[in-house]
Amino acid sequence: MADKLFGTDGVRGKANSYPMTAEMALKLGAAAGRFFRRDGKNDHRVVIGKDTRLSGYMIENALTAGLTSTGMNVLLLGPVPTPAVGHLTHSMRADLGIMISASHNAFQDNGIKFFGPDGFKLSDAAEDEISALVADGVEPSEPENIGRARRIDEGRHRYVEFIKTTFPTDKRLDGLKVVIDCANGAAYRAAPEALWELGADVVEIGVEPNGKNINLNCGSTATATAAQAVVDNGADVGICLDGDADRVMIIDETGRVADGDQIMALMAGRWADLGTLKGGALVATVMSNLGLERYLAGRGLGLERTKVGDRYVVERMREKGFNLGGEQSGHIVMTDFATTGDGLLAGLQFLAAMVETGKPASSLTQVFETVPQLLKNVRFQAGQAPLEAENVRKVIATSEAELNGKGRLLIRKSGTEPLIRVMAECEDEAFLVDVVDRIVAEVERAAG
């Protein structure tokens, strides 16, 4: 237990390895149950959703055992998007929501994300208390107070009905051909259903999960398949979700991909024109492109930056009353509608912009000119700390001095994978590549 249990988005790791074991899921379930059932009453409930990973069955059963052992009543939703869990936790008046997913990672990984009764992800303080309960151990309830578990078959349908309410009530998608890539993940049924019910001609890909093909050569982190499908089918637009459907990438009719920064820029401009952008700003992370910041400034709008993680974006939004935020990676948070990033919701808002303006996707996806940005990852082994190596510190300091006034440099340890992320921005692309490669080389040497 020496390592920190929670990362930037819940607990995550390789399935059947610490901390993503059945034993740890059992302990986490018991700890979360005790945390949310402090009054000892038996009317507390938790909703659990999952994506399509093979290990989801194992984690779901272990969590259920831990939760019911402390008196929580468990409602099992089956495969549903992460934002569906946030929505249903609140709408079903549950005390706790849990999503079993490792988001965009390969099937070998899995994760456990927690939502409070308001549908928002738990704070760092709440996660620390649950971690302490895991470490100290939890006394199980008396036999007469053990909780119950039941399947909720209509959870997906409730989410689909909700998500359709976020689309303009006087508009339909008739005449639009939409490629939807569900990454063989949690939205493989919900997303095509919602689009079809709104009138779209739907081309489905990534909708045949087998437990091991989630995010495999598909979805928001591998958009080539969807881009080709858009071109081959003469589609108007493509929507690429990740494994738990809280991220999105948009593909225009030519096959060109737009990331979260471009989608946020479009929404910020539209909402500002409508007078619905609260606070005159949007919230993004340190990873968002400098071009987004320049575009917003040119519109008289602000950009609030946070550390990486959509939960930190949401925390800043709630703290300062903003209603639009997200990440370059495709988490788009619109708190007028949802409590967390929702890829399908963002996709529908983009489609609404197409319908209302009559413009093709290509004219809506390139809102600003990006500043050249380069990101490279270096994998390291458990117990290593390559960023603490003297040579790594020296090359970073030198690079920062060279970039001063010319661009940005961001180096960080991933909160979800054993990776060091090296990112830089600079108008001079040759210099940009040189800076990143120098730092990567030293980090690789330090990581062996």
pLDDT one-digit tens code per residue, 6-35: 987 899 999 999 999 999 999 999 999 999
Domain boundary among 229, 256, 283: 256
Does 397 lie in the same domain as 271?
A: no
Does 185 lie in the same domain as 149?
A: no
Domain boundary among 236, 256, 276: 256
Span 215-228, average pLDDT: 97
Q: Which of 216, 145, 148 is nearest to 182 (CA)?
A: 216
Does 136 lie in the same domain as 58?
A: yes
Is the pLDDT assigned to residue 414 strictly greater than 90? no
User: Is residue 168 situated within a structural domain?
Assistant: no
**Cα three-residue angle 133-139-145, rounded to 5 degrees:** 120
pLDDT at 381: 87
pLDDT one-digit tens code per residue, 41-74: 778 999 999 999 999 999 999 999 999 999 999 9
- Rg from Cα positions in the chain: 22
Amino acid of residue 184 = N
Q: Which domain holds residue 382?
A: 373-446
Contacts for 310-313: CB closer than 8 Å, 24+ residues apart: 310/9, 310/246, 310/340, 310/341, 311/8, 311/9, 311/121, 312/8, 312/285, 313/283, 313/284, 313/285
User: Is residue 148 situated within a structural domain?
Assistant: yes
Torsion of CA 301, 262, 49, 152, to 10 degrees: 90
The residue among 310 and 150 whose pLDDT is bigger is 150
Q: Which helix (H) or strand (E) holds 274?
A: helix 260-274
pLDDT > 70: percent of the chain: 99
User: Is residue 280 situated within a structural domain?
Assistant: yes
Does 83 lie in the same domain as 50?
A: yes
pLDDT level of residue 177 (50, 70, 90 thresholds): very high
User: Is residue 334 situated within a structural domain?
Assistant: yes
Q: Which of 93, 95, 149 is nearest to 126 (CA)?
A: 95
pLDDT at 3: 59
Does 308 lie in the same domain as 294?
A: yes
Domain boundary among 230, 256, 282: 256
Q: Which of 163, 151, 175 is nearest to 82 (CA)?
A: 163
Does 339 lie in the same domain as 249?
A: no
Does 251 lie in the same domain as 385?
A: no
pLDDT at 95: 95
Span 173-189, average pLDDT: 98
User: In total, how many domains does the chain have?
Assistant: 4
Span 411-427, average pLDDT: 88
The residue among 9 and 147 whose pLDDT is bigger is 147
pLDDT one-digit tens code per residue, 345-399: 999 999 999 999 999 999 999 999 999 999 999 999 877 889 999 999 999 999 9
The rounded distance, in Å, linking the Cα atoms of 316 and 297 is: 19
Contact 75, 56 (CB under 8 A): no
Does 219 lie in the same domain as 197?
A: yes
The rounded distance, in Å, linking the Cα atoms of 258 and 261 is: 8
User: Is residue 151 situated within a structural domain?
Assistant: yes
Amino acid of residue 178 = V
Span 141-164, average pLDDT: 95
Does 41 lie in the same domain as 100?
A: yes
Does 183 lie in the same domain as 79?
A: no
**pTM listed for this prediction:** 0.91
Does 252 lie in the same domain as 264?
A: no
Give the CATH number, domain containing residue 88.
3.40.120.10
User: Is residue 137 situated within a structural domain?
Assistant: yes
Span 67-94, average pLDDT: 97
Active site residues per annotation: 103
Does 148 lie in the same domain as 24?
A: yes
pLDDT at 2: 41
User: Is residue 396 situated within a structural domain?
Assistant: yes
Mean pLDDT, all residues of the chain: 95
Give the CATH number, domain containing residue 429.
3.30.310.50
Integer distance in angstroms from the first to the last C-alpha of the chain? Answer: 25
User: Is residue 287 situated within a structural domain?
Assistant: yes
Is the pLDDT assigned to residue 323 strictly greater than 60? yes
Q: Which of 183, 147, 122 is nearest to 43 (CA)?
A: 147
